[in-house]
Chains A and B, each alone.
Chain A
Amino acid sequence: MTPLLLCSILGAANERFLAGLAALPDSQAAQLQFAAAARTYDEAWHAGAKEPVVAQNRGRAHCLAGDKARAVAAFHDGLALAPWHTGLHADLQQLRVSIIPPDDRELWPPSSSFIRQRVSPLDRLLIACVASLMVTAGIIARICFGSRYAAKILLLAGGTGVLLVIGCAGESWREEQQEKATPIVVIATPDLILRTGNAAFYPPRRERPLPVGLEARCLARRGGWIRVRIGETLIGWLPADAVIILDHSPRFSSKSANRSAAGSPGFATTSGGYVVGSTGL
């Protein structure tokens, strides 16, 4: 799709969002506008307009249209691209507050590491440039001017910068691999009960149903059921057709996605990297 066409789709989505804001006194009309905006943002996203700001507006449009599950999914789509984006983190946090009851602390997802949330590739590039220049200056000072003290200081500072960059990159990579191993799952159906086994006759793991939009981590899949971890410790089974599975790993965004999805009954893969059940969420 050409950039011009993408811009026009995004422009249309923004216009519908603004129309929804203008129609706020009439909530139903506003929700219709927000739903239309959300659909257009989805279209733009899947067509290639993958920017953190687009993900942010997309998530907001879904939330205002009343679909909190898709809003959470949209924010996570953006965070998969830009884990350091503070706006996406702030929006997701606010949405979580509105989804998870205050007395249900065990449902809160564990926070990811500070480095991955704050240090962007641009920051790492800048630190690496400064460190490289310091090391170069240290070498020049030692070889050309015989200044041992200045060379020592510069090489020490530059070396620290290099180690810092390597450490940040390593930590980000490690967490990314960990997240790919356990994809995010978003509850999309109301009154969903977490069970101790992969069938409806197993007893509930907890009596209260799970709120729509709650995030979990997919640990395993069997038949039409998935084993999930909610929060730090709560582990149980959910029907796969009642959740949205956000799989951002390459195996689901390539041709192999269709093969792997076809291999497991009850799954289908959308172009956005979502794996959803047969209900066609």
Chain B
Amino acid sequence: MFWTGKCLGILLASLAGVNLQAQTPAVKLADIPAVDRDAPDFYGALAKGSDRVSVTWTVDPEVVPLDGTTSLRLRIEPVVNPDEVRRPALMEMQEFHRLFQIEARGKERPGPEVVVFCYHLRPRQAGVLAIPSLKFRYYRPGFPEPRRFQTTYARSIAVTVTPAMKAPEVSTIRAPAAFFQLVPEPSTTVHVSPWAWLIPLGCTPLLALLGVILTRWLFPTAARRDRNGQISLARKALIALAQAGHDVAPARAVAATVIEYLQRRIPLTGKPRTTEEVLAALAASDWPEHRRTAVAKLLQRCDAARYSGSRDDAESLAAFAQQLIRSWED
């Protein structure tokens, strides 16, 4: 009596499927408890309300030579979440692996509620082989809670495997073309330690010292020549200062001569013209403090003679400048 009532209930429920679907709230895969989602043979398929999900194999071609491959398709429909349905890993199922070498291929979506998984099968033996049936569990939200997980099967289908079409050919060696030649050994091989570069860098100070000693020994006049250059420069400056008295603007001539001398002697950065610029450039150089003070004094006296009519004449300015230069060069 109980079973009759239950069957009747199910019958009525299936007859009123549309209404039942309408009343069933939309269920998502994430709503199912995790422990149920990871259950064996459940690949995440959700049925539409109380509709059944059908799972079918198709194989093309049905007759395949032993050394050939055939395409196997698993069609699952109708499901509300075709994108979430996971591919059954046939290659890990012993009953499949025993008969075929399996390679997973693409996934097709021929309709909005249909998903098709593709595989390539290479038979391991000749004869009529049965592609095993596949147990497939799915979630049917239109049913009462304890019976929502339903099981269906993809029915087994047969594949005829004929003997190999042709005798296996002598295999050709597949390798990049460059590999078919022997690399000749180089005539000379130089072995250098990865840290060998430290040797020349470490020897640089010693090398420089030896170089300086050797150069001084080979060119004893080189340092003197450098000193001679300075003396020549000073001599030219002294001559120019002596002739400054004949200039139209003697104070300007004295200042210009001293600035040019300093420019070549130190040398100064930039091209300073005014007193402030020269003093700034001198401050930036390594010219001694007392010499800078003397230069400042000379240039200020020149400026005073040029612009404020001080009592300094050409001779006194030139004499002061000559005295300074002589003191620096001695």
A165-B170 CB under 8 A given contacts A120-B192, A122-B192, A139-B208: no
Size bracket, chain B contacts? 35 or more
Q: How many A residues touch B, CB cutoff 8 Å?
A: 57
Cross-chain contact A208 with B104 (CB below 8 angstroms): yes
Cross-chain contact A94 with B176 (CB below 8 angstroms): yes
Q: Tell me which residues across on chain B come within 8 A of A153, comparing CB atoms.
A: none
Cross-chain contact A98 with B175 (CB below 8 angstroms): yes
Within 18-48 of A, Cβ neighbours of B (below 8 Å) are at 18, 21, 24, 26-28, 30-31, 34
Judged by a CB distance under 8 angstroms, whether B182 is at the interface is: yes
Q: Tell me which residues across on chain B come within 8 A of A28, comparing CB atoms.
A: 170-171
Give CA–CA (A206, B104) in the complex, Å. Answer: 10
Cross-chain contact B176 with A97 (CB below 8 angstroms): yes
Q: Which listed residue, A27, A121, A127, A140, touches B173 by the CB 8 Å rule?
A: A27
Within 136-162 of A, Cβ neighbours of B (below 8 Å) are at 136-137, 139-140, 143-146, 162
Q: Tell me which residues across on chain B come within 8 A of A26, comparing CB atoms.
A: 170
Cross-chain contact B192 with A64 (CB below 8 angstroms): no
Question: Shortest beta-carbon distance, A161 to chain B, in Å?
Answer: 9
Q: Identify which of A51-59, A214-222, A237-245 touches chain B.
A: A51-59
Q: Identify which of B156-164, B219-227, B250-258 touches chain A.
A: B219-227
Q: Tell me which residues across on chain B come within 8 A of A90, comparing CB atoms.
A: 178
Give CA–CA (A121, B179) in the complex, Å. Answer: 27
Cross-chain contact B183 with A57 (CB below 8 angstroms): yes
Cross-chain contact B222 with A144 (CB below 8 angstroms): yes
Cross-chain contact B176 with A95 (CB below 8 angstroms): yes
Closest residue of chain B to A138, judged by CB? B208
Judged by a CB distance under 8 angstroms, whether A91 is at the interface is: yes
Q: Give the residue among B183, B197, B199, B219 with the most A Cβ atoms within 10 A.
A: B197
Cross-chain contact A144 with B212 (CB below 8 angstroms): yes
A145-B194 CB under 8 A given contacts A53-B183, A57-B183, A95-B176: no
Q: Tell me which residues across on chain A come within 8 A of B190, comparing CB atoms.
A: 122
Judged by a CB distance under 8 angstroms, whether B19 is at the interface is: no
Q: Tell me which residues across on chain A come within 8 A of B68, comparing CB atoms.
A: none
Cross-chain contact A24 with B173 (CB below 8 angstroms): yes
Cross-chain contact B212 with A139 (CB below 8 angstroms): yes
Cross-chain contact B211 with A60 (CB below 8 angstroms): no
A57-B104 CB under 8 A given contacts A97-B176, A146-B226: no
Give CA–CA (A18, B101) in the complex, Å. Answer: 37
Give CA–CA (A16, B191) in the complex, Å. Answer: 28
Q: Which listed residue, A63, A125, A169, touches B200 by the CB 8 Å rule?
A: A125
Q: Which listed residue, B176, B200, B208, touches A140 by the CB 8 Å rule?
A: B208
Question: Shortest beta-carbon distance, A171 to chain B, in Å?
Answer: 12
Q: Which listed residue, A21, A57, A140, touches B211 by the CB 8 Å rule?
A: A140
Closest residue of chain A to B192, judged by CB? A121
Q: Tell me which residues across on chain B come within 8 A of A69, comparing CB atoms.
A: none
Cross-chain contact A125 with B170 (CB below 8 angstroms): no
Q: Which listed residue, A124, A127, A203, A208, touches B103 by the CB 8 Å rule?
A: A208
- Point out residues on A near B: beta carbons under 8 Å: 14, 17-18, 21, 24, 26-28, 30-31, 34, 51, 53, 56-57, 60, 63-64, 66, 87, 90-91, 94-95, 97-98, 120-122, 124-125, 127-129, 131-133, 135-137, 139-140, 143-146, 162, 165, 169, 172, 191, 193, 203-204, 207-209
Q: Mind listing 24 A-B residue pairs with CB under 8 Å?
A: A24-B173, A31-B173, A60-B179, A60-B183, A90-B178, A91-B179, A98-B174, A98-B175, A121-B193, A121-B197, A122-B190, A125-B192, A136-B211, A137-B211, A140-B215, A144-B215, A144-B222, A145-B225, A191-B91, A191-B101, A204-B89, A207-B87, A207-B89, A209-B91
A-B pairs, 4 with minimum CB distance: A146-B226, A128-B197, A94-B176, A132-B200
